[in-house]
Chain A
Amino acid sequence: MSRLMEVADRMGIDRVVLSMGLPPLITNPTPDQLRQKNDETMAALLHWHHRAFGLCYVSGEHVEASLQEIDRCVAKGSLVGIKLWVAKRCNSPEVETLVKRVHELRGLIVQHAWHKTGGNPPGESTPEDMAELAARVPEIPLVCYHTGGNWEGGIRALRPYKNVYAEIAGSNPTAGFVEMAVRELGAERIVYGSDAAGRSFASQIGKVLGAQIPEAAKELIASGNLRRLLTPILKAKGMEV
């Protein structure tokens, strides 16, 4: 973690959002593995709470265990929301149950979504799945990690659902991504992320700094929008916004 933050400092990154614990990443974790990963995330925050926020790793494959983890780590612990990855697609009723519980706590909800050429593994959500979920819970803000990877389609899928935010990490720094997102979604619906340590901070912040968009839009994407999304739970927890 200290190494990560040393590099973050070089790149002018003030705060990071952590999830899913230490490597290796587990695609379909058991309840015990969820607890272990969340313990690892909370342990990192013990030393880095001034520089990092943490998300609770949950799975639609284990609803009861995930609800318990949300209670343990978000309601009573130091984490500020949930991360859903690739265990179960997010258009499922199980994921909706988790999302609604976190919203009661005013927490941040982020869901991985890709639309891969060649097809996704069975549990991996697409932006279209995210759109389904968003339509069912229009009052709940949702963050779509990666904007589907194939971002032109992802942006289109998310466009009608004003409660969904497009996060831009985890794909090549392909020029035009952020410009199209700003054009179609508005800068207030786009969130920077790095996907570190798998990705480079540079390649992902380069998407924002290299985009031909107004400086005010860059500020919203780099920090303003996430700050706004985190404000309810930070206030609820008495944490600094």
Chain B
Amino acid sequence: MSTPIIDTNVFLGRWPFRRLPLDEAPLLAKALRARGIEQAWAGSFDALLHHDVDGANGRLAALCQRTDKELFLPIGTVNPALPDWEEDLRRCQEKYRMRGIRVFPNYHQYKVDDAAFVRLLKQATERGLLVQLVVSMEDERTQHPLVQVPHVNLAPLVEILKSVPGLRLQLLNAFRSLRPDLMLKLIGAGHVTAEIATLEGVAGIEGLLNQIPVERLLFGSLAPLFYLESAILKLQESKLSAAQDLAIRRENAVKLLRG
């Protein structure tokens, strides 16, 4: 029996561009449980495009609660390009008891060195919240022609990170555009981690661990947008030591959430 997995990259709700086989929360919960996922950090598809971010966060919290509150850990969204985003941040923590937030600089049309975003990073850190930064949602070649969203440019973060001590930042869906040299700079500048949903290449985890410390890599599936099996099989595809396997499956996520 393999060690249970903590999936740090799951979404609930409706993907805007197609229905997905597991886009009903109970179906997704059943599939996650069946494949050994003991906890799934769940963001909201609605939050990609909705301006009523708190509405999306409230529905997400309720859905997690009523579907499988032991499995789904709701991760709210904050959009610092919207007026009074500070109230959304406050509600994420104080009203919905969320332990982290998810941000989408590309879908929400701001840059990572915009002043409001830097303020958000500082306030989230003061509140002890984990920040998940979504670098992309799709391969740019397969996006809807009316919604072509570039991958987030992470380069300015290297300097920003130095000004936000204590920030816990996880990059989601980063590896289509994030090159190892920039990842190393980000790691050197702060407590930055990533997950494996968009990691490609034969034995990709093995290859990546030749370049970055295992402590900075977590399990993430991007289910239900991606087939859950993709991420699970990546653990099998790479030859990992027992310690590396455990760290990616679970332990790094436990530490990251604990802070």
Return the contact of A149 from the options B18, B19, B142, B224 (Cβ within 8 A).
B142
Complex Cα distance, B144 from A207, in Å, reads: 21
Q: What per-residue 1/0 map shows which CB atoms of B188-210 lie under 8 Å from chain A?
A: 00000000001111111000000
Tell me if B141 and A179 are in contact (CB < 8 A): no
**A197, CB-defined interface residue at 8 Å:** yes
A173-B226 in contact given A7-B202, A117-B143, A118-B141 (Cβ < 8 Å): yes
Q: What per-residue 1/0 map shows which CB atoms of B131-151 lie under 8 Å from chain A?
A: 000000011111111001000
**A186, CB-defined interface residue at 8 Å:** no
Tell me if B230 and A203 are in contact (CB < 8 A): yes
Most-contacted residue by chain B among A149, A172, A174, A198 (CB, 10 A): A172
Complex Cα distance, B226 from A207, in Å, reads: 9
**B47, CB-defined interface residue at 8 Å:** no
Complex Cα distance, B7 from A23, in Å, reads: 35
Interface residues of A, count at CB 8 A: 34
Which A181-207 residues have a C-beta within 8 angstroms of B?
196-203, 205-207
Complex Cα distance, B203 from A207, in Å, reads: 17
Tell me if A200 and B200 are in contact (CB < 8 A): yes
Complex Cα distance, B223 from A176, in Å, reads: 12
Residues of chain A with a CB closer than 8 A to B201's CB: 197-200
Complex Cα distance, B141 from A73, in Å, reads: 34
Most-contacted residue by chain A among B145, B224, B226, B230 (CB, 10 A): B230
Q: From residue A55, how far is it (CB to closest CB) to chain B in Å?
A: 19
Tell me if B143 and A210 are in contact (CB < 8 A): no
**A209, CB-defined interface residue at 8 Å:** yes
Tell me if B228 and A200 are in contact (CB < 8 A): no
Return the contact of B21 from the options A114, A172, A179 (Cβ within 8 A).
A179
Residues of chain A with a CB closer than 8 A to B18's CB: 152, 176
Tell me if A118 and B148 are in contact (CB < 8 A): yes
Return the contact of A202 from the options B138, B148, B224, B233 (Cβ within 8 A).
B233
Complex Cα distance, B224 from A171, in Å, reads: 16
Q: From residue A34, how far is it (CB to closest CB) to chain B in Å?
A: 25
**A76, CB-defined interface residue at 8 Å:** no
Q: Which residue of B lies closest to A201 (CB)?
A: B237
Residues of chain B with a CB closer than 8 A to A202's CB: 204, 229-234, 236-237
**A212, CB-defined interface residue at 8 Å:** yes
A173-B202 in contact given A114-B141, A117-B148 (Cβ < 8 Å): no
Tell me if A200 and B199 are in contact (CB < 8 A): yes
Residues of chain B with a CB closer than 8 A to A200's CB: 199-204, 230, 234, 237
Q: What per-residue 1/0 map shows which CB atoms of B208-235 lie under 8 Å from chain A?
A: 0000000000000001111111111110
Residues of chain B with a CB closer than 8 A to A116's CB: 141-142
Complex Cα distance, B150 from A118, in Å, reads: 12
Complex Cα distance, B144 from A174, in Å, reads: 14
Complex Cα distance, B226 from A211, in Å, reads: 11
A198-B148 in contact given A173-B226, A175-B223, A210-B229 (Cβ < 8 Å): no
A203-B200 in contact given A175-B227, A176-B18, A176-B20 (Cβ < 8 Å): yes
Complex Cα distance, B198 from A149, in Å, reads: 16
Q: From residue B209, how far is it (CB to closest CB) to chain A in Å?
A: 14
Residues of chain A with a CB closer than 8 A to B138's CB: 172
Complex Cα distance, B145 from A174, in Å, reads: 18
**B51, CB-defined interface residue at 8 Å:** no
Complex Cα distance, B148 from A50, in Å, reads: 45
Q: From residue B1, how far is it (CB to closest CB) to chain A in Å?
A: 19
Tell me if B237 and A175 are in contact (CB < 8 A): no
- Besides the known contacts A171-B142, A199-B201, 9 further A-B residue pairs in the complex with CB atoms under 8 A apart: A117-B145, A149-B139, A196-B202, A200-B230, A202-B231, A203-B230, A203-B233, A203-B234, A210-B227
Give 22 pairs: A residue, B residue, CB < 8 Å, sorted on A: A3-B202, A4-B202, A10-B236, A11-B237, A116-B141, A116-B142, A149-B141, A150-B141, A172-B226, A173-B229, A174-B142, A174-B227, A175-B223, A175-B225, A175-B226, A176-B19, A198-B201, A205-B233, A206-B227, A206-B230, A206-B232, A212-B21
Give me the 5 closest cross-chain CB pairs, A-B, nearest first.
A210-B227, A206-B230, A202-B233, A210-B229, A206-B229
